[in-house]
Amino acid sequence: MTTLIKEINDKLADSFEEIVSWRRYMHQHPELSFKEEKTALYIREKLVSFGLEVETNIGGGHGLIGILRGAQPGKTIALRADFDALPIEDEKDVPYKSQNPGVMHACGHDGHTAALLGTAKVLNEFRDQLKGNVVFIFQPAEETPPGGAKFMVEAGVLDGVDYVFGAHLDSQTAVGKVTTGSGYQMAAVDKFTIKIQGKGGHGARPHESIDSIVIGSEIVGALQKVVSRRVDPLKSAVVTIGVFQAGSAFNVIADKAVLEGTVRTFNADVRKQVEEQIRSIVAGITAAFGAAAEIDYLNGYPALYNHPRETETVRQWFMEEFSSENVMEMEPSMGAEDFSYFLLEKPGTYFRVGSQNEDAATHFPHHHPKFDIDERALLNIGRSFVKIVSNYLL
Catalytic residues: 84, 142
Amino acid in position 287: A
Distance CA 128, CA 366 (A): 39
C-beta of residue 288 within 8 angstroms of C-beta of residue 325? no
